[in-house]
Amino acid sequence: MARVVILGAGISGHTAALHLRRLLKKQHEVVVVSPSPDYNWIPSNIWVGVGRMKTGQVKFPLAPVYRKKKIDFRQAKAVAIWPEGAGDNHTGAVDIEYTLPGREGERQRLSYDFLVNATGPKLNFAATPGLGPDAGFSLSVCTPAHAEQTAARLVEVIKKLESGERQRLVVGVGHGACTCEGAAFEYAFNVEHELRVRGLRDRAEVVYLTNEYELGDFGVGGMSFEQDGYVTSSQLWTESLFKERGVRAILRAHVQRVEPGKVFYETLDGEEDALSFDFAMLLPPFRGQELEAFDRAGGDITSELFAASGFMKVDADYTPKGYDEWQAADWPRTYVSPKYPNVFAIGIAFAPPHPISRPHSTSSGTVISPAPPRTGMPSAIMGRQVARSIADMVNKGKGAPTHTASMAEMGAGCVASAGAGIMHGTAASMTMYPIVPDHGKFPDYGRNIKQTTGEIGLAGHWMKHLLHHMFIYKAKARPGWSFIPE
């Protein structure tokens, strides 16, 4: 009998768990460890943040789903990994600390035959003084609770606008090394849309604050695509939307600190400035979760298993290289640890070998450049493919992973909401292939220009709304769930 332990129940971990339970015979165990009792469809948090959805529409309890699927669920957080085993265990073990009410703080050591690290990111608000809703002065949509708090604050702003008081709303990223620029983009334009449909737009200034070198970068180095027989760029396409909606953008910015009603930032040219605000939603940078690792003798091997960022090293080429030396082949394909063939890391939990966008920093060394996004569709595909590999290793005795999911070999679709509404909503619909540019295969643009597209309109909003319901259905493991693509 084999036991597979999955750390994390987000998009990547939950997908891996469901597929593993489908692919493995009944005598094998699938164990999921997650500190939260709920699954959260994170892409829809932005709609909670503008009051278009309630938190109950973007999350649901995990325990009933796992009970139905015969998956062992532990509401706990992982704290340490023993990849060589510990005590009488000779395969591998992970220490967990329960967050379940009544068992808070209780520790347990779980043995495993295979381990999948899908812990996702630590929301590193502490990287910027004053950032965040808990101990700072800005808002967030990273969790349902954060998004609900942000929506309540937006209601207050709307009331002030209705009374004739002008307001400045700042939306963007709160650190020079942030990722998820797409989510910041979505929230900015959803806020703008809500103000416009209420007839309040002329009293509000909406400012987009970003670490992107140009608009439309989105952490993937931007895109080129054909439109009406011409090659255009995501930069031009995005800039036109900002101009059309009257949203002011501050580019190439690193937030130094946030104080009540004021954000202080520096730009790539070394200039420092401050911006007052009445409302600020700024996304945090990500770090890996605080996991330690030990060898069989108890020696600390955390730095061997994890990169300095806290994300786990996998089958990528982490050799330091200049931007023009980066290759598509640097990116991982199987997500297996180079040292431990039964340990995997997927979704945001794996350490990328380098950014996708060209890196930039100030003369004093401050990094102002997006980190690579690896959420949503890519995370789900990684979860499925790693599950298939482990199933083959268990069922067929394969000695190495059998399935791949390189971001340099997969395409992705993204539907970014630019305002909710069945009749008046819009969304930017984008596809790209591959996610990580391959200039060897596609020398002109790094991607297949025929399969890299972008357009905006009401149909995109309908698609975004449909995807919300479809993926919630899939995540609940309803009949036919496995036929819905990742």
Q: What are the tens digits of pLDDT across the range 270-324? A: 999 999 999 999 999 999 999 999 999 999 999 999 999 999 999 999 999 999 9
- Mean of the per-residue pLDDT values for the chain? 95
What whole-number distance in Å separates Cα of residue 199 and Cα of residue 194?
Answer: 9
Torsion sign over Cα 147, 152, 157, 161: positive
- What burial class does residue 104 get, using C-beta atoms within 10 Å of its C-beta: 0-12 exposed, 13-18 middle, 19+ buried? exposed
* pLDDT over 70, % of the chain: 100
Nearest to 217 by CA among 373, 451, 350: 373
Give the pLDDT of residue 2: 96
Ramachandran class of 417: left when φ > 0, alpha when ψ lies in -120 to 50, beta otherwise: beta
C-alpha of 315 from chain center: 20
pLDDT for residue 353: 97
Task: Give dist(CA 127, CA 366) in Å, integer.
Answer: 13
Which of the pair, 228 or 268, is modelled with greater confidence?
268
Fold of 3-123+286-395: FAD/NAD(P)-binding domain (3.50.50)
Q: How confident is the model at residue 455 (pLDDT cuts 50, 70, 90)?
A: confident
On the question of pLDDT at 41 being above 80, the answer is yes
pLDDT bracket for residue 225 (50, 70, 90): confident
Please say if the pLDDT value at position 423 is more than 90: no
Please state the pTM of the whole predicted model.
Answer: 0.96
Task: Kindly state the average pLDDT of the residues 39-55.
Answer: 97
Q: Where are the beta strands (DSSP E) in 214-277?
A: 224-227, 230-233, 248-250, 253-259, 262-267, 272-276
Residue 104 identity: E
pLDDT at 228 over 80: no
